[in-house]
Chains A and B, each alone.
Chain A
Amino acid sequence: MNRMISFLLLIALTAAALGQTPEEIVQRAENAYKGKTSYGIFEMKVVTPDYVRTLKMESWWVGNEKALIKIIAPAREAGNRTLKIGKDIWMYLRNTETTIRIPPSMMLQSWNGSDYTYDDLVRESNAVRDYNIRIVANDTLQGTPTWKLELIPKPDAPVVWGKLLYWVRKTDYLPARIEYYDEKGEKIRTMEFLDVRRMGGRNIPTRWIMRNERKKGHYTEIVIQKIRFDLRIPDRIFSLRELER
């Protein structure tokens, strides 16, 4: 009996310890706001020193594989759609009623004029597979204790960054901040996850800010207004024919 208890205790301890590996922490943070499938409505605010532009969008995701994003407001751009299947992106343009496939050379260009790139949509963010991860510090961000992790790309990993710094909240394993560095160690951009709220049956950060560190005063804020996870999405909506409907 005693032996049984100590055995169970050992398993429990091992599990707890496993939950603490840097890889586990990042994996949990990455999974936290991604379901097998999801549907959401969000508002994207592109802020520059010269103007502020607000777009409202609707999106369907199947894992990281497929996505359809539709602009629903303002009227001038409503109807423009972005379709992602694997590594490819198509833009449907309502005005000319045409579909453009984004060429590889344009992947690092801005998506819909925001601080996100087409590449951000396409990139399969498999942090655990592509990076060597280690915990570098314990930090407090927005009043919450966090782990600060350093992600260095593995050799040959298909990654454009030289280094990532990743903050994960200790309380709920949610991402808090990601800093992107290039090969020279210069900070290129910062993503912040704010306003954790219960939505779609989960606790998720509902406000994301992507700050372009190379262009002063440029950032893009996404506010999730509605989200549902793990619902059935018919596969046919991710097709070129459907895109042009």
Chain B
Amino acid sequence: MEAGKFAVQDPAKRAMVLTALFIAQEQFGYLSPQAIARVAERLNMAPEDVYETATFYSMFRFKPVGRHVIQVCEGLSCHLAGGAERLVEYLQRTLGIGPGETTLDGMFTLQTVQCLASCGTSPTMRIDDTLYESLTTDKVDMILQALRGEG
């Protein structure tokens, strides 16, 4: 088969796929089949190729998440600081969900991650784009309350 047959695909456009997926995830909250199809259409790619790329990376979501995504660090420093296990356990009890699950009111999704690159202020968690450091259970209560208060 001739080598030039993939020439119709625009390499510069394809290179945008990760950026486009991040934008789509921000807009739709997760990568639904519709979101994938839209990215594929804009970049002139096959939807299967976009999906293949997206599933290769761990930071893309394919199911709806709550309004706020809580990522608790389980990395070595947070673990040694005594936070990780206790924090995850506390959040599970408070929210009534396990890691990977979303509260029934659609407010919070709980996730565990490996490192949030803030070992000096462990234990840490990230909610959406905000990093929370040197956590205690009291602090967690306050943070959750504030987020609930926002509506």
Query: Are A and B associated in one complex?
Result: no
